[in-house]
Structure 1
Amino acid sequence: MAKFTQLINKSDAPVLVDFYADWCQPCHALAPIIRDVSKEYGEKLKVVKVNIDKNQQAALKYQVRSIPTLILFHKGKLLWRAAGVQGKQQLMQVIDRHVQ
């Protein structure tokens, strides 16, 4: 948890956190979209996947009530969050507002 907190607080690039679970079918549908988005932005965006079954403390801290949940942070500040599968274009529009 400390490493995760440090990453979202200290990263120069915005950090997109994908809270997921292995048994979650919508999470599996979102995974290739997250991979594509990560490739598109390269070093301008950090993408972190958090398995809620293995990291319950992080899920509790950020009040993840349904999965998948995506949260965009920059220097520790929560910029955006959404639950459910997000389309690639929709996700990129949100990220574009926060990535230089």
Structure 2
Amino acid sequence: MKKLLAFTCIIAISCGLYAQESINKAQFIEKVWDFENDKDAIKLKSKVPVILDFYADWCRPCKMLEPELTALQKDYKGKLIIYRINVDKERNLAALFQASSLPTIFFIDKSGTATYVRGYRTKEELKQMVDTYLITAKKAK
């Protein structure tokens, strides 16, 4: 019984390492960008590139995208961070990024340059975007 419990805990912790983190406005300001004080340009607080997934619980394409992003986070472990932002709960953040269609995905490199796409994307499409906008862009600088 103890072995089963230990195994279950290990699996749960491992899965958590790859999950995207849902954040609110205060967490966004703390972890991503303090847009209230740095209004002119995105000044990323992270040492690695960031992906922002603007979603809603009722959005079917958003639900389809979630496992794709989880797999992407696993593939790029330590090289990028994915944050999810619920537009129904965080309307100010959605307005700031003009996330009017769902899902909207922002790719922000370490210099603060943001590129976005709207709509569902497969893991392979997302990987191509990460390599183009975040990984390759980093190497070119």
TM-score, normalisation: structure 1: 0.90
Residue from 51, 57, 69 that aligns with 1:34: 69
Q: CA deviation at 1:65?
A: 1.0
Letter in 1 for 2:29: T
Match of 1:92 in 2: 127
- Residue 47 of structure 2 corresponds to residue 23 of structure 1: no
- Residue 86 of structure 2 corresponds to residue 51 of structure 1: yes
Structure 1 runs (4+) deviating above 6 angstroms are none
Structure 1 residue runs without a partner (length 5+)? none
Q: Mark the structure with the bigger radius of gyration.
A: 2
Letter in 1 for 2:75: E
RMSD after superposition: 1.5
Match of 2:104 in 1: 69
Q: Distance in 2 between matches of 1:94 and 1:84?
A: 14
User: What is the SS of the residue equivalent to 1:71?
Assistant: strand
User: What is the SS of the residue equivalent to 1:28?
Assistant: helix
Letter in 2 for 1:10: K
Q: CA deviation at 1:58?
A: 0.3
Q: CA deviation at 1:38?
A: 0.5
- Residues 26 and 84, structure 1, Cα contact 8 Å, conserved in 2: yes
- Residues 15 and 73, structure 1, Cα contact 8 Å, conserved in 2: yes
Q: CA deviation at 1:7?
A: 2.6
Letter in 1 for 2:131: D
Match of 1:5 in 2: 29
Q: Distance in 2 between matches of 1:57 and 1:76?
A: 23
Sort the Cα spacing of 1:41 and 1:94 in 2 relative to 1 into closer, same or farther, 3 A.
same
| More strand by percentage | 1
Cα deviation digits, residues 34-89 of structure 1 (max 9, x gap): 10001100010100000001111100000011000000112462332000001111
User: What is the SS of the residue equivalent to 1:65?
Assistant: coil
Structure 2 residue runs without a partner (length 5+)? 1-24, 33-43
